[in-house]
Chains A and B, each alone.
Chain A
Amino acid sequence: MSTSEKTVTVVRRPRWLRVVGALALVSTAATVWLGLWVTPPDAVQKNLVRLVYLHPPIAWVALYLAFGLSALASLLYLWRRTRSMFWDRLAASSVEVGVVFNALTLATGMIWGRPTWGVWWTWDARLTSTALLLVLFLGYLALRRVPVDPEVRARRCAVAALIAFVDVPIVHFSVIWWQTLHQGATVLNANLSPTIHGSMAWTLLLGFIALTLVFVWMVGVRYQIEVLADRTGAERLEVSLAERWAEGDLDSSTAGGNGHANGANGSPVRSPTRVGQ
């Protein structure tokens, strides 16, 4: 019986990532303070307007940053000249964070919609296309868990991410292309003149910055985990292969060595099908 030693790897986050994390924390706290205490209530929505400092920045992170980055990374993976597992891992990390933010977009939207519109949910073009986006990228995450060769998985997922990304411009333009219950854009509207003023506008801007920083930090950490998972996955595979070879070589008493040279109990050597955990 071989006992595999448990090693604890202490991971230090890179300096820039720790700085981003601290900035994200500070700016988020500032947004909460400004949003809840400093900014005035809206003429129509009264205090319900305070969700404007949260809901649009969350949607911004999900749609444009997370899914945008994953589409870009997937493209760079598929392009032969820039192909590297870096892009695959980055796309995966970005989608995972994006799915969380997409779900939060729907959740905060519902919380805002109930008191303002009067309904939690309705099937207008904006809401439907956003729900579809969540399903599409959940599909991407499901696809990543199908056990295959990492290269095959990377290619497959890159294609899937690009297909899913088609829905992002549909979500963006849905309020222009169709009549919707959802309001149009406040900042990125047709004539690019934000229809929000004074301290409300500055707080909204800070909200965008804060959640962008949160996104960068989350993707950075998630990427690190992905690298570690790949590494430990490969290490574990080697350990378990060595154990299997040792078992097969008991009679030839060369346990642990190059046992795979004799194919008596030939457990076929395959590339790591699944990494992680």
Chain B
Amino acid sequence: MTDASTIERPPPLQGSPTTRRTRRRLWFVAAVLVGALVFLLVEGLGSSLDYFDTVDQALAHRATLGTSTFRLEGVVVPGTIRRTAVGTNFTVSEGVEQVAVHNVGSPPELFQQNIPVVVVGHFSRVGSELFLSNQIMVKHSANYIAAHPGRVKAPNGSVR
């Protein structure tokens, strides 16, 4: 061991290595936060503050939409669902306005008539009323109503 008096350390002041490292770390944290924020804004909110166009909106902007991909929302018209070799054909409506949808791929479990859906795809050509989609998302409501209880009982006793 060396003489104790020779190893005198300067007191920590502003701008000491420790403080500087702390400050650098803080900047790093700030940079990560800002980065994450910008990423989420650009990736998420920027492209979809409104997640979809309704049938009315889409038909109104048919000229500008052209054949670009967007999300279309409407209620599945009863009696229009047809299974095809590659997927499902059906019509979505909003009041009187209707758009025919040709979807490739299997629809989700809850897909049924009279349920609002969001389909991802594009009009078949500029000005067309046929929508070609490759994804269906079911937009269920926030209403919860009991299914008729006890109407049909499975053999194991559970109510379906």
Question: Are both chains from one complex?
Answer: yes
A residues neighboring B (CB under 8 Å): 39-46, 48-49, 52, 115-119, 122-125, 127-129, 131-132, 135-136, 139, 142-143, 146-148, 178-181, 183-186, 189, 195-200, 248, 251, 264-268, 270
- Report the separation of the CA atoms of residues A146 and B36 in the bound assembly, to the nearest whole angstrom: 19
* Closest partner residue, chain A, to B29 (CB atom): A142
Most B CB contacts (10 A, CB to CB) among A127, A135, A186 go to A135
Interface contact A181-B44, CB-CB below 8 Å: no
B97: CB under 8 A from chain A? no
Known contacts A41-B147, A45-B110, A184-B142: A122-B11 contact under CB 8 Å: no
Interface contact A117-B43, CB-CB below 8 Å: no
Interface contact A116-B140, CB-CB below 8 Å: yes
Interface contact B33-A146, CB-CB below 8 Å: no
**Min distance, Cβ B70 to any Cβ of chain A, angstroms:** 12
Grouping DSSP codes into helix (H, G, I), strand (E, B) and loop, the A interface class, with mixed when no group exceeds half, is: loop
Chosen A-B contacts, 16 in total, with CB atoms closer than 8 Å, are A41-B149, A41-B159, A42-B144, A42-B147, A43-B145, A123-B43, A132-B40, A136-B33, A139-B32, A143-B29, A147-B22, A181-B52, A183-B140, A195-B141, A264-B4, A267-B9
Interface contact B37-A197, CB-CB below 8 Å: no
- Report the separation of the CA atoms of residues A172 and B21 in the bound assembly, to the nearest whole angstrom: 38
When distances are taken between beta carbons in the complex, the residues of chain A under 8 Å from B118 are 181
Interface contact B146-A124, CB-CB below 8 Å: no
* Closest partner residue, chain B, to A139 (CB atom): B33
* Closest partner residue, chain B, to A39 (CB atom): B146
In the complex, which residues 111-157 of chain B have their Cβ closer than 8 Å to any Cβ of chain A? 111-112, 115, 118, 135-149
Interface flags, B1-34, vs A, CB<8A=1, else 0: 0001101110110000000001001100100110
Interface contact B139-A181, CB-CB below 8 Å: yes
**Min distance, Cβ B22 to any Cβ of chain A, angstroms:** 6
- Sample of 7 more A-B contacts, CB < 8 Å, known A116-B138, A180-B51, A195-B144: A42-B144, A42-B146, A43-B145, A52-B144, A125-B49, A135-B37, A266-B9
Known contacts A123-B47, A195-B142: A115-B9 contact under CB 8 Å: no
When distances are taken between beta carbons in the complex, the residues of chain A under 8 Å from B54 are 179
Interface contact A124-B48, CB-CB below 8 Å: yes
